[in-house]
């Protein structure tokens, strides 16, 4: 059976991952699982979604490290074809599905309100990521994101994930952690997400729920 390292190398060769992302991908992906309040990694009843899987980081790597049922969401047709090939090569096709869809459509589909864990690495700015992920989560479910490095964690939280903006989506910031030099954050779905979310991507881009300093640069 093909190893996940071989899949990552193939993704790099195809141009779906940069050399740095390919080298750091497995360790960086594993860091998502270091959040202490996650469901057990060996629980096959847990449903998880990875937004913008691309070359397989983190979703495909995490699928090899957990017994969860994964849905990998990817808009790019060539990347979708690659991911479906990778899932077959890894022998994961019994519990990993690859969707060639827009994340907005996925969040308005059958998975809405049914997912335990959503992961996102470089998917979109914070407001767009949260708006696409929140509707997917069940109450008590977690959105896990990778973060840029910050010296002041309070500044990171307040500027990138404002309390009022998250509350509009039924989310609450429950903290961050570091693993292998990378920073991650968890947001918990604590209330119902209004039916109007997520909006179309162009509407989100034109009128985001909040704007960070990074969005202005």
Which pLDDT score is estimated for 57?
97
pTM higher than 0.85: yes
Q: What's residue 217's pLDDT?
A: 56
pLDDT in the model for residue 212:
86
Is residue 216 very low, low, confident or very high in pLDDT (cuts 50, 70, 90)?
low
Nearest alpha carbon to residue 133 among 163, 101, 169, 160: 169
Which among 117, 115, 84 is positioned nearest to 98, based on CA atoms? Answer: 84
pLDDT the model gives residue 51:
98
Report the chain's mean pLDDT, rounded to a whole number. 94
Query: In sequence order, which ranges of the chain are alpha helices (DSSP H)?
Result: 4-13, 19-31, 59-65, 77-89, 103-107, 126-133, 153-160, 163-168, 201-206, 213-216
58-77 pLDDT tens trace = 999 999 999 999 999 999 99
Q: Which CATH superfamily is domain 4-209 in?
A: Vaccinia Virus protein VP39 (3.40.50.150)
Q: What is the pLDDT of residue 159?
A: 83
The residues spanned by each domain of the chain are 4-209
Q: Is the pLDDT of residue 155 over 90?
A: no
């Amino acid at each position: 059976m093909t190893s996940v390292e071989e899949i990552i190398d193939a993704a790099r060769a195809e141009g779906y991952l940069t050399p740095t992302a390919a080298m750091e991908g497995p360790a960086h992906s594993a860091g998502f699982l270091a959040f202490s309040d996650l469901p057990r990694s060996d629980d096959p009843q847990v449903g998880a979604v990875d937004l913008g899987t691309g070359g397989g980081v983190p979703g495909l790597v995490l699928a090899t490290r957990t017994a969860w049922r994964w849905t990998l969401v990817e808009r790019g047709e060539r990347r979708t074809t690659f991911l479906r090939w990778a899932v077959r090569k890894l022998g994961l096709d019994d519990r990993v599905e690859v969707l060639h869809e827009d994340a907005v459509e996925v969040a308005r589909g059958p998975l809405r309100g049914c997912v335990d864990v959503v992961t996102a690495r470089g998917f979109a700015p914070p407001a767009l990521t949260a708006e696409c992920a929140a509707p997917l989560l069940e109450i008590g479910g977690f959105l896990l994101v990778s973060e840029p490095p910050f010296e002041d964690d309070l500044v990171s939280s307040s500027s990138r994930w404002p309390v009022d903006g998250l509350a509009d989506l039924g989310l609450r910031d429950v903290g961050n952690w570091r693993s292998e030099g990378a920073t991650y954050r968890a947001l918990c779905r604590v209330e119902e997400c209004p039916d109007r979310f997520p909006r179309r991507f162009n509407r989100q881009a034109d009128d985001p729920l909040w704007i960070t300093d990074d969005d202005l640069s």
